[in-house]
A and B are shown apart, each in its own frame.
Chain A
Amino acid sequence: MLIRQLSVFLENRQGKFAEIARLLGNNDINMKAFTVSESADFGIARIIVEREKIDSAYNLLKSHSYAVSIHQVNYLNSPNQPGAMAVAMEELCKAGVSIEYMYAFADDASHNSHLVIRTSNDELANQILSEL
């Protein structure tokens, strides 16, 4: 399914990510998952928060002058067993959908693995993944 993800532009300076984590934490917003990718002098933090809090997280970051944006990404809840992910990737590949980036996170409550997948065509990817 498609979910909404926050992206925050960060200069590569020590403590930048801690600042964001602290800001969200102080406002009772829990980061369910995140990843940071970086080039030589800047990075982009991608953050998943609880669905009902994403707009307040966005406004909070914005009001603190962060360069924040919201994008739709695919979310895949796949059984934690060998080969499960391979099937998903093969199907996307067959349909000509390429992966821009991807990250996984764990959740103690279930034994499934949770994947966030950003593709070249997220609508189509959503269709394919939901038919798996």
Chain B
Amino acid sequence: MIWNSKIECMSRDEMRILQGEKLRKIVAHAYQNSPFYKSRFDEHGVKPEDIHTIDDIVKLPFTTKQDLRDNYPFNMMAVPMSDIVRLHASSGTTGKPIVVGYTETDIENWTEGIARCFSAYGLDKNDMIQVSYGYGLFTGGLGAHYGVQKIGATVIPTGSGNTEKQLQLMQDFGSTAIACTPSYALYMTEEIRKRNIDMNNIKLKVGIFGAEPWTDNMRKELEEKLQIKAYDIYGLTEISGPGVGGECECQCGTHLWEDLFYPEIVDPETLQPVAPGEKGELVFTTLDKWGMPMIRYRTRDLTCLNYEKCACGRTAVRMSKIMGRSDDMMIIRGVNVFPSQVESILLEFPEYEPYFFIEVDRVNNTDTFVIQVEVKPEYYTDQINQLVKLRQRLASRIQSVIGIQPDIKIVEPNTIERSTGKAKRAIDHRKFE
């Protein structure tokens, strides 16, 4: 089903006109009401009057995650805080998180995006959707929650964790869809098997998976084991949250809701637009987000866009699966991890050398996160317990800052590569293409 066929199936020409009108308005709003954007545009020598059509977007400067950090918490807001009805935040890279504020209209538009996704997955008011994304500062839980209510379905707000209860309610209530990370869904399939749960008691028909990269093999496995159709939902906190785009029944790319979130693909080195269909970095401009507009926000996600009309009838542009990052961020078990975070934590410990190497892999559908470190010579001892404790302290500290527990592997001195230039500090063995 198509939630908003007027928009989702609009001709490309009409869409570009609509985008141009919306861009003019949001740029004028940002310039007039956000000191951050005013000074950024002034530095760049561009005025709202220079924007006529959507093609003029290339005249505007980019925004980055660093801008969000530098303006923490509220300096990027373009409305008085009294007009902000909700805040969300994502975990910080080195200390500070990033904060996003929404007006009532922003929440409505975000929810509209999610409603389009859910409809595209074939869900409607007759469905019962279990939201197993985390609720709270993370956008996943509340975002999906509002989307479920918007399409008139029943929301089961289980949140993340407590798998036993999740599986119990899934059977008792007869959940017809579940929204969670694909790795958590795979973990659930394991638990279903271990507990000998009869698949006849599970009524799921759709899985709504996002917040981390996943592969076609994972899709196949989830679809077989849970007897569902597994769909991608894409989004990021900076742009609003999940529901910036989603797959349709054709599962041939993620439709982006480009009347709300305008996508561009640029070369991450030159920052120039790439030729249509070419791979590059995804950049978003929020065309209808007033609390904290994002103008040409660099997502660092690498992908490509396909503007051909889809077999489902939608003209909304389709994005390929994310093919990687243009920075060194990794998403491990759904959590954003930057090597620079590990570095700054390591520097808090006098016992460790400031060198490390991160190894990420996926074993039995769970991400592994190994950090190799070296202990300084004077801290080696004849007692194994002391090293075990030292290792545990580092693992706990990383868990509390980043949010996931690493395996710390102490290696022999001078094993980790020292390099004066840009050392390769991580390797990701997972395959996402």
Which A positions have Cβ atoms within 8 angstroms of B?
5, 7, 9-11, 37-39, 41-44, 46, 65-69, 71, 73, 100-101, 118
Contacts and interface: CB of A to CB of B under 8 A. Distances in A.
A66 B413 contact: yes
B382 A44 contact: yes
B82 interface: no
Given A65-B414, A67-B375, A9 B409 contact: no
Interface stretch (B181-189, B225-233, B248-256, B383-391): B383-391
What secondary structure prevails in chain A residues at the interface with B?
strand
Given A10-B412, A66-B412, A67-B412, A39 B388 contact: yes
B432 interface: no
B405 to A, nearest CB: 15
A37 B387 CA distance: 12
Contacts of A46: 382
Contacts of A69: 377, 380-382
Nearest to B376: A67
Nearest to A41: B409
B411 interface: yes
Contacts of A11: 411-412, 415
A116 to B, nearest CB: 10
A39 to B, nearest CB: 6
Interface in B361-403: 375, 377, 380-384, 387-388
B384 A44 contact: yes
B410 interface: yes
A67 to B, nearest CB: 4
Give the 8 A-B CB pairs with smallest separation, nearest first.
Answer: A7-B382, A67-B380, A71-B382, A65-B414, A69-B380, A67-B413, A9-B380, A37-B384
A30 B390 CA distance: 32
22 contacts: A5-B382, A7-B381, A9-B375, A9-B380, A11-B411, A11-B412, A39-B387, A41-B409, A42-B409, A42-B410, A44-B381, A44-B382, A44-B383, A65-B412, A65-B414, A67-B380, A67-B412, A68-B380, A69-B380, A71-B382, A101-B383, A118-B382
Contacts of A68: 380
A44 B375 CA distance: 13
Contacts of A7: 380-382
Interface in B220-261: none
Nearest to B370: A41
Question: Max chain A CB contacts within 10 Å: which of B382, B384, B412?
Answer: B382
A65 B382 CA distance: 17
A42 B415 CA distance: 14
A47 to B, nearest CB: 10
Contacts of B410: 9, 41-42
A73 B382 CA distance: 10
Contacts of B375: 9, 67
B382 A38 contact: no
Contacts of B387: 9, 39, 42, 44
